[in-house]
Amino acid sequence: MQILNFTPEHEAFRHRLKAFLAEEVTPNVEQWEKDGIEPREIWQKMGRGGFLCTDIAPEYGGIGGDFLYSVIVTEELSYTYHTGLAAGLHSDVVVPYISAFGNEELKQKFIPGCVSGDIISAVAMTEPGAGSDLAGIATTAEQEGDEVVINGSKTFISNGINADIVIIAAKDPAVENPYQALSLYVVETGTPGFERGRHLDKMGWRSQDTAELFFSKCRIPAGNCLGEKGQGFLMLMQKLQQERLVCSIGAVTAAERIVEWVTDYCKKTKVSGKPLSKFQANQFALVEMATDIKLGRTFMEKLVADHMEGQEIIVETSMAKYWTTEMAKRVADRGLDLVGNEAAIEKYPITRAWRDIRVMSIFAGTNEVMKGIAAKFMGL
């Protein structure tokens, strides 16, 4: 019995996306990796194809699809063997904050552009002194009349260079409780006092533009606050369930692509006159990797189904984010071992995959934080 049931409409969407990626993305990956960024044009092409923000209602330019469309986008992007085109971050993590908590003016102003790819989004939580600990955020937001003045800095912000809008987490310094002080605001590129810092040179995710952001007396309209002031922590907690689920989908699909590629490599590469795949040690390794992935996919797909039913699965998605990203790292390591010396050569996708997978246990909340969340709910 299938856990996820894809309709003919889903499969037609997958077929269109697969053809689009083969023509517009895969041939350009190597150049984008060298450039350290992806061109804005590919976002616009993705948008025109209907591949961004697939859950958005037609009244805002979307197709009004269910979460399975997001699963398809993540799965098919994995076949490009790169992580630079962070469509999942834009469509399934950032834009949902606006669609769920933004006032009608913000929705009309930004969501159609996010769907079309003319507006690229980012979310800014991480700071030099605060990573997964939201209570440690130092960036401030003080209201002055009809404006909010933001001061502070953010780092490791994905889509930070290309972003046209940034959803920033900032605190009211007058509120003592750090969780009640937190609010979310939409800041547009070009706003005085908002500047980009370094375009960070990373070990992996090289074509994904990651940057520092600085805010110095940055004034935005008070209406750019998402939801109610002081409700930022609760909104983040509500949406982190989907963010961590998206991470799990990405981890499982990345691991699947590695095993597919390594299996094919082992079948084609001969040692002492026979393929690597005929050596028992290699067979066992591939079987163990494939089994891990099957377990991860079953767990992940069950959570996707639960999420689509509207269930609260904060603990389970935290567990899945932790387990699947650790599993993907194990698979990448084992895959490198099987390929051997050739895995040190940049032309092989296994090399890039190993680099790209390593950070997955860190972003969207470190795996130690994921375990801590589960421990609390277990009464430990």
CA atoms of 181 and 33, how far apart (whole Å): 39
Active site residue 243: yes
Domains, the chain, with CATH or none: 8-119 (1.10.540.10), 122-229 (2.40.110.10), 233-377 (1.20.140.10)
Burial class from Cβ neighbours inside 10 Å (0-12, 13-18, 19+) for residue 177 reads exposed
Instruction: Give the three-state DSSP class for 163.
Output: coil
E-state strands within 3-159: 121-124, 140-144, 147-158
- How do the pLDDT tens digits run along the chain, 380 residues long? 689 999 999 999 999 999 999 999 999 999 999 999 999 999 999 999 999 999 999 999 999 999 999 999 999 999 998 998 999 999 999 999 999 999 999 999 999 999 999 999 999 998 887 766 777 889 999 999 999 999 999 999 999 999 999 999 999 998 889 889 999 999 999 999 999 999 989 888 889 999 999 999 999 999 999 999 999 988 988 888 999 999 999 999 999 999 999 999 999 999 989 999 999 999 999 999 999 999 999 999 999 999 999 999 999 999 999 999 999 999 999 999 999 887 888 888 889 999 999 999 988 888 998 999 899 988 88
Cα torsion 27, 31, 33, 37 to 10°: value is -110
Select from 239, 225, 228, 238 the least CA-distant residue to 105. Answer: 225
Select from 56, 250, 90, 64 the least CA-distant residue to 159. Answer: 90
Select from 209, 158, 211, 164 the least CA-distant residue to 188. Answer: 164
pLDDT at 1: 67
E-state strands within 41-177: 121-124, 140-144, 147-158, 165-171
List the catalytic residue out of 33, 212, 243, 256.
243
Give the 3-state secondary structure percentages of the chain, helix then strand then coil, rounded to 5. Answer: 55, 15, 30
Cα-based distances in Å from 91 to 120, 134, 210, 266, 324: 10, 22, 17, 36, 21
Buried b (16+ CB within 10 A) or exposed e, 317-336: bbbbbbbbbbbbbebbebbb
Asked if residue 306 lies in contact with residue 320, where contact means CB atoms within 8 angstroms, the answer is: no
CA atoms of 361 and 359, how far apart (whole Å): 5
Burial class from Cβ neighbours inside 10 Å (0-12, 13-18, 19+) for residue 285 reads middle
